Amino acid sequence: MSGFKEPDAERKSGVAVIKAEYVISDHKRTLLLDCITESDKEKLAAQDGDNNNKCNDNTDDASQPYKKQKLSKGEKKRLRGQNKARPMPFKHNQEMSLCRTLIDVAENEELPICNNYKCSFLHDVSAYLAAKPPDLNSTCYVYSTQGRCPRGASCRFGSQHLTPSGRNIINFSLYERHLKAKSTVNHLDKSIQFNLRKRCYDFSKSGSVIAKYDKYKGKISNGNSKNSVEQNENSKQQRTESGEDNTFCPVDGDTGLICEIEPENISESENCIDGGGAKSSHNSRQCGAITDEDVIQVRKEERKQVNWKGKLYLSPLTTVGNLPFRRICKEFGAEITCGEMAMATSLLQGLQQEWALVKRHTSEDLFGVQLCGNNPHVMTRCAQMLEETTHIDFIDINLGCPIEFVYQQGGGSGLLRREKALESVIRCMSNVIDLPLTLKTRTGVYTDKNILHTLIPKFQDWGVSLVTVHGRSREQRYTKKADWDYIEQCAQLGAPVPVFGNGDVLSYEDYEQALVNSPSVAGIMIGRGALIKPWIFTEVKEQRHWDISSSERLDILKKYVNYGLEHWGSDTKVTERLHHLYLINFN
């Protein structure tokens, strides 16, 4: 590849570059005795009698500084207790929190009355303001940029926009401009939440698609003769060569309308199996213009097309890939962004915390939602709902989550071992939506048994638009080196479906080396590299190392905090959350 520079031979692949003057070469790991359990202290006391006295001194006198005891490698390995010295997590006290009806009250509005007789929050604004901790700063970023702070009296920067009585001051010119801009979309509408919780949402479209698939699979398994199977394979090969979609719903090749398969006509209709999800009868006669989408079948080539080739893809990082972090990465050159993994069942239940993962900033010009589920009924309904109620560009299926609970339920990487369930999920979702459907997957479940190469050739037939391959198995998690040779093998087998590679890209040199090792990939997804340095996207585009200054790093951190205040709010609970995410993302 032109412009490619060979990486330093002494540098290990997958290791972030740090200047030598910042590396502590003589550092030795030591054990903090106040953080180990009593049983581990007894083990140490048995090895060295003096250690017991040191442990007791640290335990009895809390004012003494922490004392560290040097241990051998074998001693460290034997001590596997919990860290008992960790501080307690932040606990939100409802009785000292102001009721939501009283938080955001404009200075010219009457004080509303809470009608919830079970409400356990505080309803005395004066008492709340008296007990409220002091402000963290005199300037509220949300008020300065939006003209109105929705956290009102609970804002930890409220001195700028609160009256002495706790009323919220509004800058109407800024606020009207903010409302017109709609910087964040995909909020959960209360009517949609109500319909989901009362199970009143219309999922008839998904039900029709799933019923057609079940009917088709039943007839394929029970009613096919040998001639019908051979005829179907020949027809399937012809449609593949002509570039048509090859999914389960039978479609008339001339009109584009879906055929209804009758039991007595199975052998006649098997040669017209194609993609779709609408209802129509092949033999029914139509009069007049047909404009209903339930009658006209949308073919794959008519759906929204995305040019994935060569784009920089920010990985959907669970917990840390939040909207403020994605905004930072977009400013540094990321081109494709995807929300954090969202559980399909939680979205269908209308849970506010899960719907927060679907929110999209206006700067994200190519944005998708990643879903995790284990059966076609839930995944298809969720895909239909997202297409109808949100503004997104694609839907991604998570086939790589290694979490034990998700895996045991058959979701995430657990779907890789359930090929029939995986096929039904992909086919049904592809037929119920007009958006591109993508996958993010691992190489397999076990370290010594890659299975993706057996599945990836089938993805085009099932209706997948893009496959992202994380070059590790579920067992390897993130500790082993990514297998880019296997990613190249999968990219060749998956053609013409574009395949992205993912794993161990921490610099622009790693990026270009990955393209050299896997020339068949359409692009590369970057995950931990962006967590270490969000400006990696700029480095890749400009093909250089960016020796970013400390002041520039501090500006990035300030911007992340401000974006977090704008996204989550500025009350005490959110500021504690930002402290936590600040440490995770940038330390």
| DSSP letter string, 177-214 | HHHHH--EE----HHHHHHHHTT-S--HHHHHHHHHHH
Q: What are phi and psi of 307, to 5 degrees?
A: -85, 100
Interacting residues of 93 by C-beta distance below 8 A, sequence separation 6+: none
In this prediction, residues 168-175 reach a mean pLDDT of 93
- Write phi, then psi, for 32 (nearest 5 degrees): -85, 115
For residue 218, name the pLDDT band (cuts at 50, 70, 90). confident
Distance of CA 70 to the CA centre of its chain: 41
Task: Write down the mean pLDDT value for the chain.
Answer: 80
- Closest alpha carbon to 383 in 365, 371, 366, 398: 371
- 190-204 mean pLDDT: 94
Residues tagged active-site:
401
Written as six digits, the tokens of 485 are: 């040779």
Going by pLDDT thresholds of 50, 70 and 90, the confidence category of residue 44 is confident
Task: Give the span between the Cα atoms of 433 and 388, in whole angstroms.
Answer: 9
Q: Looking at the whole model, is its pTM more than 0.85?
A: no
| pLDDT for residue 31 | 73
List CB contacts of 253: < 8 A, sequence separation 6 or more. Answer: 272, 274
CA torsion sign for 290, 293, 296, 300 is: positive
**Which residues lie below 8 Å from residue 349, measured CB to CB, with a gap of 6+?**
196, 197
* Angle, alpha carbons 188-190-192 (nearest 5°): 75
Closest CA to 252 of 281, 211, 289, 209: 281
Q: Is 501 helix (H, G, I), strand (E, B) or coil?
A: strand
Q: Among 51, 183, 248, which residue's Cα sits nearest to residue 567?
A: 183
Instruction: Identify whether the C-beta of residue 468 lies closer than 8 Å to the C-beta of residue 316.
Output: no
Q: Count of residues for the chain? A: 587
CA distances from 354 to 183, 387, 515 (A): 20, 16, 35
- What tokens were used for 522? 């359409």
Q: What is the CA radius of gyration of the chain?
A: 28
Q: Give me the pLDDT at residue 262, please.
A: 38
DSSP code, position 299 = P
**pLDDT score at 565:** 92
Query: Tokens 């719907």 appear where?
Result: 355
Exposure string over 117-142, b if 16+ CB within 10 A, otherwise e: eeeebbeebeebbeebeebeeeebbb
Q: What is the pLDDT of residue 13?
A: 66
pLDDT at position 36, please? Answer: 72
Q: Is 388's pLDDT higher than 50? A: yes
Q: Residue 297: its pLDDT value, please?
A: 52
Q: Which segments of 219-366 are extended strands (E)?
A: 312-314, 337-338, 342-343, 360-361
- Range with the poorest average pLDDT among 24-38, 63-77, 153-167, 553-567: 63-77
Q: How far apart are CA 196 and CA 354, in angstroms?
A: 13
In Å, the largest CA–CA distance within the chain is 96
Q: pLDDT higher for 69 or 331?
A: 331
Distance between CA atoms of residues 458 and 464, nearest Å: 9
Q: Does 438 have pLDDT greater than 50?
A: yes
Report residue 2's pLDDT band, with 50, 70 and 90 as the boundaries.
Answer: very low
Note the pLDDT tens digit of each residue in 571-585: 988 888 887 766 655
From the centroid of its chain, how far is CA 315? 8
Question: Which of 10-24, 223-237, 256-270 has the least mean pLDDT?
Answer: 256-270
Q: Is the pLDDT of residue 264 over 70?
A: no
Q: State residue 168 phi and psi, 5-degree precision.
A: -90, 125
**Does the pLDDT of residue 229 top 50, yes or no?**
no
Least confident of 86-95, 231-240, 427-436, 479-488: 231-240
The reported pLDDT for the residue numbered 281 is: 38
Q: In this predicted model, which residue has the larger pLDDT, 89 or 44?
A: 44
Using one digit for the tens of pLDDT, what is the confidence trace for 519-545? 999 999 999 999 999 999 999 999 998
Question: Which pLDDT score is estimated for 534?
Answer: 95
Q: Residue 51 has what pLDDT?
A: 45
Q: Pick the closest to residue 147 from 160, 136, 132 (CA basis).
A: 160
Q: Would you state the structure tokens that stand for residue 163, as one six-digit string?
A: 């009256």
The whole-number average pLDDT for the span 160-169 is 92
Mean pLDDT of 278-305: 51
Q: What is the pLDDT of residue 439?
A: 95
Instruction: Kindly state the average pLDDT of the residues 332-358.
Output: 95
Distance CA 314, CA 337 (A): 5
Q: How many CB atoms lie within 10 A of CB 258?
A: 27
Q: Give the three-class secondary structure for 326.
A: helix
Q: In 219-364, at which residue ranges do the beta strands (DSSP E only) sit?
A: 312-314, 337-338, 342-343, 360-361
Q: What pLDDT was estimated at residue 267?
A: 35
**Confidence band of 509 (pLDDT split at 50, 70, 90):** very high
Spell out the domains of the chain, with CATH numbers in brackets. Answer: 29-78 (no CATH), 94-109+118-197 (no CATH), 223-302 (no CATH), 312-545 (3.20.20.70)
In this predicted structure, what is the pLDDT of residue 181? 86
Distance CA(282)–CA(278), nearest Å, equals 12
The answer to whether 447 touches 473, Cβ cutoff 8 Å, is yes
What's the confidence (pLDDT) of residue 302? 61
How many angstroms separate the CA atoms of 411 and 401, rounded? 8
Buried b vs exposed e over 148-167: b needs ≥16 C-beta within 10 Å?
bbebbbbbbbbebbbeeebb
In this model, does residue 283 exceed pLDDT 70?
Answer: no
3-state secondary structure 217-230: HHHHHHCCCHHHHH
